[in-house]
Amino acid sequence: NAGVTQTPKFRVLKTGQSMTLLCAQDMNHEYMYWYRQDPGMGLRLIHYSVGEGTTAKGEVPDGYNVSRLKKQNFLLGLESAAPSQTSVYFCASSYSPGGSSYEQYFGPGTRLTVT
């Protein structure tokens, strides 16, 4: 199993450009999450999904959109990138149907710089 994978690993954008980050998991997890991690701020939840076709806002959703068209994929979009969105982005997934375990499995991260 590959676990949780993220594409790309690094990206540099100019202010105003758009991009999509892709997260994929092969563990049949119901829940998926997008976090950003900044120095001194810890992991902050951007958006999350509790099932295919459903999404919800997290703590810092402004400037981001998400889609979960397939159970195994969770996309994070930046429509018009801003320097404040320079960060490391982590995707995570959790919970298998019928299970009772809620630990999260994280991807390797995407380091995004907006100039």
Residue 6 CB, shortest distance to other proteins, in Å, is: 9
Question: Residue 6 pairs with which residues in a beta bridge?
Answer: 23
Q: Are 4 and 24 spatial neighbours (Cβ–Cβ below 8 Å)?
A: yes
Contact flag: residue 92 with other proteins (CB under 8 A)? yes
Residue 24 CB, shortest distance to other proteins, in Å, is: 14
Contact flag: residue 109 with other proteins (CB under 8 A)? yes
CA atoms within 13 A on the CB side of 21: 33
How far apart are alpha carbons 4 and 51 in whole angstroms? 16
Select 86 or 104, whichever has its Cβ closest to other proteins: 104
Contact flag: residue 45 with other proteins (CB under 8 A)? yes
Select 14 or 97, whichever has its Cβ closest to other proteins: 97
**Among candidate residues 65, 70, 66, the one with its CA nearest the CA of residue 52:** 70
How far apart are alpha carbons 16 and 81 in whole angstroms? 5
Select 17 or 30, whichever has its Cβ closest to other proteins: 30
- Residues found near other proteins in the complex (CB under 8 A): 4, 31, 33, 35, 40-45, 48, 50, 58-59, 90, 92, 95, 101-109
